[in-house]
Amino acid sequence: GAVVSQHPSRVICKSGTSVKIECRSLDFQATTMFWYRQFPKQSLMLMATSNEGSKATYEQGVEKDKFLINHASLTLSTLTVTSAHPEDSSFYICSASRAGVTEKLFFGSGTQLSVL
Amino acid sequence: ILNVEQSPQSLHVQEGDSTNFTCSFPSSNFYALHWYRWETAKSPEALFVMTLNGDEKKKGRISATLNTKEGYSYLYIKGSQPEDSATYLCASDSGGGADGLTFGKGTHLIIQP
C-alpha cells in the first residue's frame, strides 16, 4: 500500500512553455504533499509544502508565481512550472504524508525536466 | 539552515560483505531522523524513522542506530546482496510539523557480484 504516482517521468520542452507535473496518492489520502527539486549531485531541496484546500507554503527563494502548486483534493497535487527556462531544468519529485512529517513519507518516482 | 552530511558519497562493496555508512545532522532542535533507499528509476522507499537517542532499528539485513546527542546515525547492511545497490538517503526533521525534511546528498552503494 501507500503508492504515490507521479507523471510524467520525463519531459522536454521549449523555453517559455509551461509544464504541469502531477502527483497522486493512489491508495491513501495525503494530508500534506511536498515538492522537492534536485540538481545534479545535490540534495533533494524542499520547494513547497501543500495541504489540501489551502495555499502552498513556499521555501525561501522559490518563486510562487513561477512554481504554481494546486492541491485540490486529498489525492492529487500538481506543480506547474510556468514559462520554463533552461535554469529550471532539474529533477522534481513529490512526496506525501499521511499524518504529519514524523511519519515516513511516500514518494513519487520523480520527473526529469529538460528545458531547451 | 540545517546541514545534513552523508559519507561516503559512494561505496563499492563485494557481495556478501557487510558495510555501513554515516549520516550526521545538527543535534539541536532534533525531532526525527529518516532513512530512505532509492533505487534507480524508482521511488525512494522509507526504511526507518528514528526519534529516540540510542534507538536501534532493524529490517531484515539492514539496521540503523541513532545518537541524537552527538548528531549522527549509522546504517548497517549485513551480507550485502546485489539488490542492496541503491542510493541511501538520510533526512533530518527539526520541526515535527509540516515543514518537510532536510536531506543529505545520499550514499550511492554498489554491490559487486
Looking at residue B1, what is its pLDDT? Answer: 44
Distances (CA, A) of A35 to A111, A113, B61, B93: 11, 14, 31, 16
Residues of A in contact with B41 (CB under 8 A): 109
Nearest residue, CB atoms, B100 vs list A6, A34, A110: A34
Q: How many CB atoms lie within 10 A of CB A50?
A: 26
pLDDT digits (tens, 9 = 90+) for B23-37: 999 988 888 999 999
B2 near A CB under 8 A: no
pLDDT band at B64 (very low <50, low <70, confident <90, very high): very high
Least confident of A6-15, B1-10, B73-82, B103-112: B1-10
- Which has the higher per-residue pLDDT, B111 or B95? B111
Nearest residue, CB atoms, B105 vs list A36, A42, A109: A42
Long-range contacts of A5-9 (CB under 8 A, 24+ apart): A5/A108, A6/A93, A6/A94, A6/A108, A6/A109, A6/A110, A6/A111, A6/B43, A7/A111, A8/A111, A9/A109, A9/A110, A9/A111, A9/A112
Q: Which of B37, B40, B43 to mutate to test the interface with A (most CBs of A within 10 A)?
A: B43
Q: Which amino acid is at B32?
A: A
What value, to the nearest 5°, has the Cα angle with vertex A3 and ends B105 and B86? 35
Pick the closest to residue B59 from B46, B72, B40 (CA basis).
B46
Residues of A in contact with B25 (CB under 8 A): none
